[in-house]
Amino acid sequence: MLEAIWIACAFALGLAVRAIGLPPLVGYLAAGFAVTGLGQWIQFPAYDGKVINHLAHLGVLLLLFTVGLKLRVRNLVQPEVIGGGLLHFLIAVILFSPAMYVLLEVSYYEALLLGVALSFSSTVLAAKVLDSKRELRAFHGRVAIGILVVQDLLALLVISLAGDTSPSPWALLVLGLPLLRPLLFKLLDVCGHDELMVLFGLLLALVIGGLGFEHLGLSSELGALAFGVLLAKHKRATELSNSLWSIKEIFLVGFFLQIGMSGLPGMDALILALLATVLLPLKGAVFFLLLVLFKLRARSAFLSSLALTNYSEFGLIVAAIVLPEWLVPLALTVAVSFVISAPLNRIAHPFYERLSKKLLRFERDIHHPDQQPLSLGDAEVLIFGMGRTGTAAYDQLKERTPRLIALDSDPGKVDRHRKEGRNVLFADAEDQVFWQGLEMNRVRAVILSMSDIEAKIISVRQLRQRGYQGFIASHTLYPDEADKINTAGADETYLTMSEAGVGLAEHVQEQLQERSA
């Protein structure tokens, strides 16, 4: 009975908010509060909250495991990640704690813990938003996720110090996890492509990573993330992530429902939520200024900061352990920050374009780690996006068209392709500054092989607005997306699966002709 109510409310409100242009997760949050409110008027079966809490926990573990599959450890050990994460934590606690003490009239200790809880940003929301836009591996996405990992480690430290539990002496064994990588690679190789691979992912994320870390006195979330990172360099890491996608999405609905079902807010909750909402822009501004200080361009700093401008589910964990009376107020605060942050992140790129003139004033006049090319030299063919489709197109053209260049927004992917001898540069097609300074006078054809539909549309429009008259080809999976890309100015947009079928049929026909000759 309860499960039917959860599903019905989540679907109805998720569909409703999507119709007005908001992410469905906002509807799931509203559904949680709606179920709690209906419970005062309708006699529901007895319920202790364990089922929805367990589903939510599984969803978080799977999300962090799939995030880990897309991370590179060397990308985390960067000044902007470690320095930005630690400095923001200290500044946020220094700013938030006095505000909590003065306005909420709590003790120094409670004010400090509330400041700590509000200093964290949501790993779940940021990862989900970035993943939905396929920006986890973009420069700003990697910076945001790296800072969240730093914050998660700080949250683990706070929980250990403030709570009654501490890591087991056996926790030092996790330092030897990299030694397991060859074994994990071998197991993934022999799992095939079906349900056994899915079970292997669940085993690592929920059992060995999640439950195993808990038994060591460590965070299960950290364990799921760690095992994802161990497999990140495997050639089938993306396939494993995709295979877990549907399961992860369903369980994450439980996470957002859980926040809303923490209880109906009282006056204290409303005051805290209002105060925290007022402070939310300050939290984002501190992130932006710190990242600019660490040499990032204004655009990368803004996009990373926007993904981090929210409050974290880890705040609820802190509250459950040491501030149980503040659990419902913090749940409302987190929910409100999600409602604000999710729509803003959805329009992050056009939002930056509107603010770019003001934000560029803060950019330092130095070499930036996310610097982009100003000239494509004598290249005649340009490929945007070096995934499987872009790489296949590059390899097919390189013998016939030596003046070939490719661009990708994932620095790690760029490094790999350059080592393999391909002419690939780092660039983000959705960056307006990139287009303003780009010289591509000799380019005669452009191939758009990015996975994100918005990136393709923006690229086509920017090319045509700059007066480019050459050939533009793209690909997509869906006919409605093909229409949008062509309307923006592309010459041809191919349906990937249809073209694969046509190519396969042509190959078979050639073989039949050769054998009959």
What is the Cα gyration radius of the chain?
24
Query: Does residue 85 sit in helix, strand or coil?
Result: helix
Average pLDDT over residues 223-229: 88
Q: How confident is the model at residue 147 (pLDDT cuts 50, 70, 90)?
A: very high
Buried b (16+ CB within 10 A) or exposed e, 22-61: bbbbbbbbbbbbbbbeeeeeeeeeeeeeeebeebbbbbbb
DSSP code of residue 186: H
pLDDT at 339 over 90: no
Kindly report the length of the chain.
517
- The three state secondary structure string of 430-460 is CCHHHHHHCECCCCCEEEECCCCHHHHHHHH
| d(C-alpha 299, C-alpha 313), whole Å | 27
Cβ neighbours for 474, distance < 8 A, ≥ 6 positions apart: 447, 448, 449, 456, 460, 482, 485, 490, 492, 493, 494
| d(C-alpha 260, C-alpha 273), whole Å | 14
N-term to C-term CA, the chain: 68
Least reliable range by pLDDT among 229-233, 343-347, 355-359, 511-515 = 511-515
Cβ neighbours for 477, distance < 8 A, ≥ 6 positions apart: 495, 496, 497
Cβ neighbours for 281, distance < 8 A, ≥ 6 positions apart: 309
User: Residue 406's beta-bridge partner residues?
Assistant: 383, 424
Instruction: Report pLDDT for 118.
Output: 92
Average pLDDT over residues 369-390: 81
Higher pLDDT, 419 or 138: 419
User: Residue 495's beta-bridge partner residues?
Assistant: 476
Average pLDDT for the chain: 83
Question: pTM for the full model?
Answer: 0.69
Instruction: Report pLDDT for 279.
Output: 92
Q: How far is CA 393 from CA 209, 382, 451, 481, in A?
A: 38, 11, 14, 20
Cβ neighbours for 487, distance < 8 A, ≥ 6 positions apart: none
| d(C-alpha 12, C-alpha 8), whole Å | 6
Contact at 8 Å (CB) between 454 and 349? yes
Instruction: Report pLDDT for 289.
Output: 96
| d(C-alpha 81, C-alpha 149), whole Å | 9
Cβ neighbours for 136, distance < 8 A, ≥ 6 positions apart: 67, 70, 127, 130, 142, 145
Query: Does residue 237 sit in helix, strand or coil?
Result: helix
| d(C-alpha 331, C-alpha 256), whole Å | 10
pLDDT at 368 over 70: no
Joined tokens for residue 367: 């070499």
Q: How confident is the model at residue 328 (pLDDT cuts 50, 70, 90)?
A: confident
Instruction: Report pLDDT for 320.
Output: 65
Instruction: Report pLDDT for 283.
Output: 95
Closest C-alpha to 122, from 273, 279, 294, 259: 259
| d(C-alpha 415, C-alpha 128), whole Å | 26
Is residue 458 exposed (0-12), middle (13-18) or buried (19+ Cβ within 10 Å)?
buried
pLDDT at 164 over 60: no
Q: How many CA atoms lie within 13 A of 331 on its CB side?
A: 25
Average pLDDT over residues 264-271: 77
Q: How confident is the model at residue 301 (pLDDT cuts 50, 70, 90)?
A: very high
The DSSP-derived string for 22-47 is --HHHHHHHHHHHHHHHTTTS-PPP-
The DSSP-derived string for 391-428 is HHHHHHHTTT-SSEEEEES-HHHHHHHHHTT--EEE--
